[in-house]
Amino acid sequence: MNDHKLPYSHGESDQAGAGLAEENLLHRGAPTQMTISPIDLTIVALYVCVMLGIGYYVFKKSPNLEEYLLAGRSMTTPILVCTLASTYYGLDVLFGTSEIGFNDGVVAFFGYSELSLGFYIFAAYGLSRKLKQARFTSLPEILSRSYGASAGYLGAVSSILFSIPALSLFALGRLSYVMLGIDAQIGALLLGSIALIYTLWGGLWAVAITDTVQFVFMCITLAIAVPLLMSQVGGFETVAANVPSTHFDLLGGIPFWLMVAYAATGISILVDPAFYQRIFAAKSFSQVRNAMLIALVVWGAYDWLVTAAGMLARTGVELGTLPAGLHSNDALLTAVVMALPVGLVGFFLAGVLATSMSTIDSYCLVAGGNFSYDLYRPLLKPDASDQELVRATKIGIGISWVLGFLLAFLFDRLMSLWVFNASLLTSTVLVPLFMSLFWKGRKTPAAGVSSFLFGMVSVIIYYFGIAQLGSYDDTWGTYIWTVEIGGNPYALWQEYALFFSLPISFVGFLVGNVFGTPLTPSAETVEVAP
Amino acid sequence: MNGWDFFTYFSSILLAGSAIWIFVLFLRDAKGIIQGSREIEEPKED
């Protein structure tokens, strides 16, 4: 078997990395419905009730805007670890990494998963300190402080588009069919509405506390399931005897530039608005730094266990203990449900559902905050009261959820483009954002806007140009355009978009800086770089 | 038990241990934080 599909964009959030893992989960035909015991279903139902209860508990406290959007800037290390881990380790990692483990072996861990962790270390030490010092409320606010209102609006629209939870709602629908036997649209409507309700009620506190419950469920059930699965299969000696030997190649023969491209996808965490929101919500720089360093250890262990689960499931298929036609994307779910006893399966399934719900809640909240704080307040009502902004945030949350649902179930063609929005956000926002934070010299509004626009145009041209000029590669599951320069062939993959768009965005910054005029002191400009 | 088995057991213990430890710390912090954030904010509004 050589179903060597490209993975999700690892190192990104579930939202950003929603690519192939969720797409496969949703698009590859009729799924196999699982048989779940009544005890496990009861546990899942109780879990859903607990989520709503948490939201209602926070709702009764009538949070103000800072509490609603940023949990009063009082999050400590433990809850930050949980919410970071839950937000960034969603269905993409759960199903994507195990799928690569199933098809290709340990490269899922050593090749795809761990190379991008350097960005997290930079984020822990370099980025979070800057962001805490400047006391921002949202990612677009960083742009508007350095480049003026126009750049802030562009950043807000880009962030909202990125945050619309179309893929997550789609995946939730599919999961609810596979696990609970509910029609996908109705499942997404019911379970997605629960995520919507507790987010509307409780804001970031509700999101973070539910993330925490999910984090604990997933970590503990996975830590129990994989050793049980290993003992049922017969350990890695049995794995080695039943899977191709290439499954133990650490880097698995992946083309060098593709490896670099996947390591580079970790860069998207540096523009992810949900990540920024958690930094802004931290009580102090040291709390968020410690949380990220602890999360790195947790992520490493989690990555290996889902990789191992994929390899063990493959061995189970070869030995006949798992169905012969098992799709690699179903490997983890099927194998873990087989390995765990009744009761723990319920906790695991609740955790899987919550993994999808935690993405929906987090990004709806981000979109709501962008709508109220970055668009409604500066454009329509600069003197809006705190409660008006909370109300506007809730309206924004509702709009983003509805748009996500419509995209997920009514506009299939648009959905297939949605996997591209992480590259779009990175290409448009990264350069102006980092120049704002780390460049001490002159910055003009034109630089912010042109950097954004150059990045946007270049990534769109590249992405669709490769699709038009190249051909679809079935082995890798992507478009590749091979060009000859000086007699030598060079393969341009769609995944290389950032190699082109980021330098072009930087050129846009330089051009705008040369021709533009810096903001006047009376304008709302704050130098972030020390 | 080979090296991969050991690595898997080690990762399991690390993951479960971290989750339990973090959850205990979370329980210690959570209620106080939710109540405390409002108490901190109120004087500022005055």
DSSP structure string for A413-433: HHHHHHTTHHHHHHHHHHHHH
Q: Where are the beta strands (DSSP E) in A45-160?
A: none
SS3 A491: strand
Looking at residue A516, what DSSP letter applies? S
pLDDT cut 70: percent of chain A above it: 88
Write down the pLDDT at residue A511: 95
Whether residues B11 and A304 touch (CB distance < 8 A) is answered with: yes
Is the CB of residue A342 less than 8 Å from the CB of residue A40?
yes
CB-based contacts of A316-323 (< 8 A; 24+ apart in sequence): A316/A229, A316/A232, A316/A233, A318/A242, A318/A243, A319/A233, A319/A238, A319/A242, A321/A232, A321/A233
Amino acid identity of residue A356, one-letter, is: S
More reliable by pLDDT, A456 or A210: A456
Average per-residue pLDDT in chain A?
83
- In this prediction, residues A1-13 reach a mean pLDDT of 41
Q: In what order do the strands lie in the sheet with A478-485?
A: A471-473, A478-485, A488-493
Q: State the nearest Cα–Cα gap between A257 and chain B, in angstroms.
A: 28
Q: How confident is the model at residue A528 (pLDDT cuts 50, 70, 90)?
A: very low
Average pLDDT over residues A468-478: 82
Which of A73, A227, A300 faces B8 most closely, judged by CB atoms?
Answer: A227
Of the listed ranges A37-41, A101-105, A463-467, A474-478, the one predicted with least confidence? A474-478
The pLDDT tens digits for A43-96 are 888 988 888 888 787 777 767 888 888 888 888 999 999 988 887 777 777 787
CA distances from A279 to A263, A434, B32 (A): 23, 16, 20
Using an 8 Å Cβ cutoff, are A438 and A507 in contact? no
Spatial contact of A51 and A361, defined as CB atoms under 8 Å apart: no
Report the CATH number that the domain containing residue A46 is assigned in CATH: 1.20.1730.10
Higher pLDDT, A371 or A493: A371
Is pLDDT larger for residue A296 or for residue A8?
Answer: A296
Residue A501 pLDDT greater than 70, yes or no: yes
Measured between beta carbons, which residues in chain A are less than 8 angstroms from residue B7?
Answer: 304
Nearest residue, CB atoms, B12 vs list A79, A209, A227:
A227
Contact state of A298 with B15 under an 8 Å Cβ cutoff: yes
Domain with A301 in it:
19-24+39-420
Tokens of A459: 């990534």
| CB–CB contact A82 B26 (8 Å) | yes
User: Residue A428 falls within a domain, yes or no?
Assistant: no
Measured distance CA(A313)–CA(A305) in Å, rounded: 12
Calpha distance A481→A478 (Å, rounded): 10
Angle at alpha carbon of residue A436, lines to A271 and A522, rounded to 5°: 130
Does residue A373 register a pLDDT over 90? Answer: yes
Does residue A511 lie within any of the structural domains?
no
Point out the residue among A209, A237, A305 whose CB comes nearest to the CB of B15: A305
> CB A236 to CB B9 under 8 A?
no
Task: Determine whether the interchain pair B26/A61 forms a contact, defined as Cβ–Cβ distance below 8 Å.
Answer: no
| DSSP string of A109-167, one letter each residue | IIIIISTTHHHHHHIIIIIHHHHHHHT-SSHHHHHHHHH-HHHHHHHHHHHHHHH--HH
As a whole number, mean pLDDT of residues A408-433 equals 78
Does the pLDDT value for residue A463 go beyond 70?
Answer: yes
Residue A287: inside a domain: yes
Which residue type does A430 have? L
Rounded-to-integer distance, Cα A165 and Cα A358, Å: 11
Q: Is the CB of B12 less than 8 angstroms away from the CB of A78?
A: no
- The interface residues of chain B toward chain A in range 1-46, judged by CB-CB distance below 8 A, are 1-5, 7-9, 11-16, 18-20, 22-23, 25-26, 28-30, 33-34, 36-38, 40-41
Domain count, chain A: 1
Q: Which of B26, B28, B44 to mutate to test the interface with A (most CBs of A within 10 A)?
A: B26
pLDDT at A139: 93
> Using an 8 Å Cβ cutoff, are A64 and B34 in contact?
no
Query: Does a structural domain hold residue A81?
Result: yes
Interchain proximity A222–B13, CB inside 8 Å: no
Summarised one tens digit per residue, pLDDT across range B1-46 is: 789 999 999 999 999 999 999 999 988 876 666 555 544 444 443 3
Sign of the Cα torsion A526, A445, A436, A362 reads positive
pLDDT for the residue numbered A238 = 93
What pLDDT band is residue A310 in, cutting at 50, 70 and 90? very high
Contact A304 B7 (CB under 8 A): yes
User: Which chain B residues are Cβ-neighbours of A75 within 8 angstroms?
Assistant: 33
Residue with tokens 């209602």: A56
A19 or B29, which is more confident: B29
Amino acid identity for residue A440 in this structure: K
> What is the per-residue pLDDT across A176-228, written as a single tens digit (0 to 9) for each?
887 888 888 999 999 999 999 989 988 888 888 888 888 888 899 889 999 99
- Mean pLDDT calculated for residue range A123-146: 88
Q: How far apart are CA A264 and CA A270, in angstroms?
A: 11
Q: What is the pLDDT of residue B44?
A: 43
Residue-wise pLDDT for A506-518, tens only, equals 999 999 999 888 8
Structure-model confidence comparison of residues A364 and A35, the more confident one:
A364
Retrieve residue A103's tokens.
């098809």
Calculate how close chain A gets to B42, using CA atoms only, in Å: 10
Residue A175: strand, helix, or coil? helix
Examine residue A312 and state whether it is found in any structural domain, yes or no: yes
Question: Would residue A491 count as lying in a domain?
Answer: no
In-domain check, residue A324: yes
What residues have CB less than 8 Å from A295, skipping those under 6 apart?
Answer: A81, A84, A85, A88, A120
Tell me how far apart the alpha carbons of residues A431 and A451 are, in angstroms, rounded to a whole number: 7
A314 located within any domain: yes
User: What is the CA angle A407-A408-A412, rounded to 5?
Assistant: 75
Position with higher pLDDT, A520 vs A124: A124
Can you tell me the mean pLDDT for A291-299?
Answer: 90
Phi, psi of A461 (to 5 degrees): -60, -45
**Which H helix or E strand runs over A149?**
helix A149-163
Q: Residue A46, Cβ neighbours under 10 Å: how many?
A: 12
pLDDT at A113: 65
Partner-chain contact B37 A73, CB within 8 Å: yes
